[in-house]
Amino acid sequence: MTTPPAGISEADWAATPVGVKAGFLELVSQCQRQQQEIEQLRIQLTALATELAHLRERIGRSSRNSSKPPSSDGQGFKPPERRKGSGRKRGGQPGHPGSGPELLPIERVDEVVEHHPQACRRCGTLLQGQDPEPLRHQVIEIPPITPLVIEHRLHRLVCPCCTTSTCASLPAEVEVSHYGPRLSALVGLLGSAFPLSFSKTQALLDQLLGVQISRGAMATIRQRLSAALEQPMQEALAFARQQSVVYVDETGAPTGNADGGNPD
């Protein structure tokens, strides 16, 4: 080796005896081999620790903290203790004031209807005045849903100079199909997150929205949405594959009831 190792000048290296050089280079080579072995052992240790954690997690699974059936719990597993009944019926007890949904803030109220008593409930005398703190009762309702039909008329005019006929074009934000973006998104949602069949989607749109749409039109809408989502989906998959953890473990929510009903 003519080039001196890092940290040693050429003059010092040239003045070093040949035997010392050979011993030094052997030590350097040995240190490099040991460093590689240490790195391999570190990788193996990490893999073994991960495997051990997975095995411990699998051993600790039971019907109480996972979706495993009770028959797979084994001999030494202690079944959960059943709660002793209080002797009372389920639900609100006599004399309990009860609890309903919380009232929405007044800024979220769309309409207020005032109700005033006309006469005294005891003697019948006519009543007047205002109650500064009336009892509030709210009713949540869905307004009538009717489809919004927008007609676009493309006019054609003739040039007075060259007699060329020119027709207007649809704006870029207007769908070429007969169904707008919100209705198309709903058709896609009903066929994916809420996997309804074509016939059930037709029935729902007709009964709730008054929109009649053919199966062919629904298939075209879903194909168009799938094509539009292809690139974002591939980007999401590529991002997920780069993560160290790409799954979510289940988390049980035991209720303590053997019959699966509500707690006593």
Q: Would 17 be classed as within a structural domain?
A: yes
Confidence (pLDDT) at 264: 46
Q: Would 120 be classed as within a structural domain?
A: no
Q: Would 143 be classed as within a structural domain?
A: no
In percent, the amount of the chain with pLDDT more than 90 equals: 46
Confidence (pLDDT) at 12: 79
> Which pair of tokens denotes residue 151?
């007609």
pLDDT grade, residue 212 (50/70/90)? very high
What is the extent of the structural domain holding 201? Answer: 178-241
Looking at 21, 42, 63, the residue that finishes a domain is 63
Q: Would 77 be classed as within a structural domain?
A: no
Tell me how far the alpha carbon of residue 21 is from its chain's centroid: 65
Looking at 40, 63, 86, the residue that finishes a domain is 63
pLDDT grade, residue 58 (50/70/90)? confident
What are φ and ψ of residue 165, in 5° steps? Answer: -85, 125
The better pLDDT of the pair 163, 101 is held by 163
Q: Tell me the Ramachandran region of residue 25: left when phi exceeds 0, alpha when psi lies from -120 to 50, beta otherwise.
A: alpha
In percent, the amount of the chain with pLDDT more than 70 equals: 78
> What pTM was estimated for this model as a whole?
0.51
Domains in the chain: how many in total? Answer: 2
Q: Would 126 be classed as within a structural domain?
A: no
191: helix, coil or strand? coil
Angle at which helices 181-190 and 215-241 cross, to 10°: 70
SS3 helix, strand, coil % of the chain, rounded to 5? 40, 5, 60
Mean pLDDT of the chain, nearest integer: 83
